[in-house]
Amino acid sequence: MFMKGLKSNIIAGIIFVSALGTLFQFLYKWSGSSFFIGFFTSVNESVWEHTKLLFFPMLIYSLYLKIKLGKDYPGISPAAAVGALSGVMFIIVSYYTYSGIAGFHVTFIDMAIFYISVLLSFLIVYKLALSRTVEKYDKLYPVIWIAFICLYVIFTLFPPEIPLFISPENP
């Protein structure tokens, strides 16, 4: 087998989510603004839309982790859900903290926040999977993923008129 251990799968996950998330930044435009593609990729430059760049690649990779490591690490799926949601929160909090202090945003910093959120997410997955503290939530993690998928669909179709959902270039 190519990757057996948790650590090697975490490293592969960091690379996978970083690469796919970067691709998802451009996929909506490349698809000709496909209605379907817009549900899981960034449709504008709002902070909320950019959280999709982490969330959906993490969801895909969590399914791989469940299949690959679920027997050895029964808490890997809830750990991945906690990691993904932590990464989403990190993106939102980091962006508003630095841009609120500076009074503007910088694309390079926004990109760095994404990659740091990927690292943070997988660090959380790694630590929780090793600690086995979330194993008891194995039946709950699908509810978390499904609830957030529903939120992404709803807020893509009907974004509220608050800064989180408004593109900074088009206030």
Per-domain residue ranges of the chain? 6-159
**pLDDT for res 165:** 92
Write down the pLDDT at residue 2: 42
Across the range 83-92, mean pLDDT stands at 97
pLDDT digits (tens, 9 = 90+) for 126-163: 999 999 888 888 788 889 899 999 999 999 999 999 99
Q: What's the sign of the alpha-carbon dihedral 95, 92, 125, 133?
A: positive
Mean pLDDT score of the chain: 91
Residue 3 — very low, low, confident or very high, per pLDDT cuts 50/70/90?
A: low
Count Cβ neighbours within 10 Å for each residue of 31-53 and write b for 16 or more, e otherwise.
Answer: eeeeeebbbbbbbbbbbbbbbbb
pLDDT exceeds cutoff 60 at 171: no
- Is residue 79 helix, strand or coil? helix
Instruction: Say if residue 125's pLDDT is above 80.
Output: yes
Q: What is the pLDDT of residue 168?
A: 77
Confidence of residue 109 (pLDDT cuts 50, 70, 90): very high
* ∠ Cα 107 169 91 (to 5°): 50
pLDDT tens figures, 16-61: 999 999 999 999 999 999 999 999 999 999 999 999 999 999 999 9
